[in-house]
């Protein structure tokens, strides 16, 4: 399964959710934001190189702790050389080789979000509590559905004690509340899933529940 993690705007914790969800699903994590990569980058080829034809997907996959990651470069020259149209084929190759793939999409509703959404079997919408953020999530959902990526789950990030039913009605998917957590907040910076730092906490259990919701959608 190819799972796109997307949201209506930046700053909602999309990359954090993607990293932790990839760990939960034992999936390959792909940094699909070709212009503003957020996931840690090691040495060796990256997604820019793959999309420019300079490396094969398997050559660019790196191990980041317990998660396999295909990182994206951060140079302007790399972004210019990359062909975004090839991303769908790369994701398909990874899914054929590794099984599940989680793609951290670019923020917002830019045109380059459509490529991973078109390749994805489903998506996870990441949003924050509050009417403006959920309204942005509605627009992201409309884009995802237009490209054929149905909503597998909604991650309501940085929330605790918030009513989920209105969010589920607005976004058309089962919502899971992810409470504030230092380990979740530091996940992308440190390249470590929260469960390796704060096992058994409410945030880690919420990520586990999000994984179960996605898995149930996969097996439906």
**Residues spanned by the domain of 54:** 2-218
Distances (CA, A) of 8 to 124, 128, 169, 179, 217: 12, 10, 17, 20, 22
Predicted pLDDT at 39: 81
Q: Rounded to whole angstroms, how far apart are CA atoms 57 and 45?
A: 9
CATH number at residue 202: 3.40.50.300
Query: How many domains are there within the chain?
Result: 1
On average, the pLDDT of the chain sits at: 89
Query: By percentage, how much of the chain surpasses pLDDT 70?
Result: 97
12 and 126 Cβ atoms separated by less than 8 Å = yes
pLDDT in tens, 8-48: 888 899 999 999 999 999 999 999 988 877 787 778 899 99
> Averaged over 209-216, what is the pLDDT?
94
115 and 88 Cβ atoms separated by less than 8 Å = yes
Provide the H-helix boundaries in the chain. 14-25, 47-51, 57-60, 76-81, 87-98, 114-119, 131-146, 165-171, 182-190, 202-219
pTM: 0.93
Hey, what are 155's tokens? 């991650």
Nearest CA to 73 among 32, 120, 114?
A: 32
């Amino acid at each position: 399964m190819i799972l796109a993690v997307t949201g209506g705007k930046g700053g909602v914790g999309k990359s954090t959710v993607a990293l932790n969800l990839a760990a939960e699903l034992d999936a390959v994590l792909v940094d699909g934001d070709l212009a503003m990569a957020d996931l840690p980058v090691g040495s060796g080829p990256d997604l820019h190189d793959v999309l420019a034809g300079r490396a094969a997907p398997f050559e660019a996959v790196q191990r980041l702790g317990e998660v396999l990651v295909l990182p994206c470069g951060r140079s302007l020259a790399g972004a210019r050389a990359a062909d975004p149209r090839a991303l769908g084929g790369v994701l398909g190759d990874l899914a054929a080789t590794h099984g599940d793939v989680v793609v951290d999409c670019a923020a917002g509703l830019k045109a380059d979000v459509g490529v991973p959404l078109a390749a994805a079997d489903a998506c996870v919408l990441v949003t924050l509590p509050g009417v403006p953020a959920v309204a942005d999530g509605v627009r992201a959902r409309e884009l995802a559905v237009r490209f054929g990526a149905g909503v597998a789950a909604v991650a309501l990030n940085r929330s605790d004690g918030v009513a989920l039913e209105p969010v589920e009605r607005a976004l058309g998917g089962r919502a899971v509340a992810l409470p504030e957590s230092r380990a979740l907040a530091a996940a992308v910076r440190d390249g470590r899933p929260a469960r390796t730092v704060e096992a058994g906490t409410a945030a880690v259990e919420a990520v586990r529940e999000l994984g179960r919701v996605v898995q149930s959608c996969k097996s439906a």
